[in-house]
């Protein structure tokens, strides 16, 4: 939140609290008192990442969106500028952030599966082309990638040097993290099949 608040080009900072059980909502409400751009949208129960992002989209009329996971380390305002500029300057329809030189536990998955990155900027109207069914839960990035391929979006890959996040096993514990990862990959596979991705293999956006 502190990094986002340093970027002047934002008109809104929308935070989706997807049924959290910690103090996240209270922390965001406190931050909103000093920054009127911050808006909290809360789900009483967890509905999944895809549903949360569509809910955030409904809460704004902005023509461009920046999507970020809430558990990033090493992020700075320059990373944000690099990620949003290709879309704001009309050089790309969607930009995808790739971790590099942060932690190997984040770098390696991003290198092999760059389309699973949750750090993106894109034209808001493009979400109309994304299958809500395929985007449910952890399938959102996969559904977004398939839509980009099917509709020939101009995509750019932006290196986020030094940025990383904790693996689920470190945050949830080994067993819960493993079960969550298994569920995530099931939803990703389902999203790929539902959105027709098996017929659109080979997605790798160009590097910026």
Which candidate, 49, 171, 157, 177, places its Cα nearest to that of 100?
Answer: 157
User: pLDDT at position 101, please?
Assistant: 94
Given the candidates 3.90.550.10, 3.40.50.720, 1.10.287.3610, 3.40.30.10, the CATH classification of the domain at 2-207 is: 3.90.550.10
- What was the pLDDT predicted at 206? 54
Q: Which helix or strand (DSSP H or E) is residue 91 part of? A: none
* CB of 27 closer than 8 Å to CB of 102: no
What pLDDT, on a 0 to 100 scale, did the predictor assign at position 24?
Answer: 86
Question: Shortest CA distance to 194 belongs to which of 113, 126, 140, 128?
Answer: 140
59 to each of 11, 62, 103, 115, how far by Cα in Å?
13, 9, 34, 25
At 32 the pLDDT is 93
Task: Give the global pTM.
Answer: 0.82
pLDDT by residue (tens digit) across 30-83?
999 999 999 999 888 888 888 999 999 999 999 999 999 988 999 999 999 999
Low-confidence residues in the chain, pLDDT < 50: 198-203, 207
**pLDDT attached to residue 183:** 64
Beta-strand (E) ranges in the chain?
Answer: 13-18, 38-43, 64-67, 72-73, 94-100, 120-123, 155-161, 164-165, 206-207
Domain ranges of the chain: 2-207
Q: What is the pLDDT of residue 142?
A: 87
Residue (of 92, 113, 115, 207) closest to 161 by Cα position:
207
At 204, list the tokens.
């790798």
């Amino acid at each position: 939140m502190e990094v986002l608040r340093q970027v002047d080009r934002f008109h809104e900072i929308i935070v989706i609290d997807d049924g959290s059980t910690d103090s996240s909502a209270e922390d965001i409400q406190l931050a909103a008192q000093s920054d009127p751009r911050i808006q909290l949208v809360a789900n009483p129960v967890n509905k999944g990442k895809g549903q949360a992002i569509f809910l955030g989209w409904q809460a704004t009329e902005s023509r461009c969106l920046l999507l970020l996971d809430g558990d990033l380390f090493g992020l700075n305002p320059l990373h944000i500028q690099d990620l949003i500029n290709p879309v704001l300057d009309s050089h790309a329809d969607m930009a995808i952030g790739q971790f590099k030189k942060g932690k190997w536990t984040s770098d390696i998955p991003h290198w092999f599966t760059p389309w699973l990155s949750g750090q993106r900027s894109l034209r808001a109207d493009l979400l109309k082309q994304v299958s809500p069914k395929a985007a449910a839960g952890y399938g959102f990035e996969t559904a977004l990638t398939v839509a980009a391929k099917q509709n020939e979006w101009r995509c750019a890959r932006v290196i986020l040097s030094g940025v990383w996040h904790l693996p689920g096993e470190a945050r949830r514990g080994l067993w819960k993290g493993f079960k969550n990862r298994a569920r995530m990959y099931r939803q990703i596979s389902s999203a790929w099949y539902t959105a027709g991705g098996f017929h659109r293999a080979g997605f790798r956006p160009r590097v910026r």
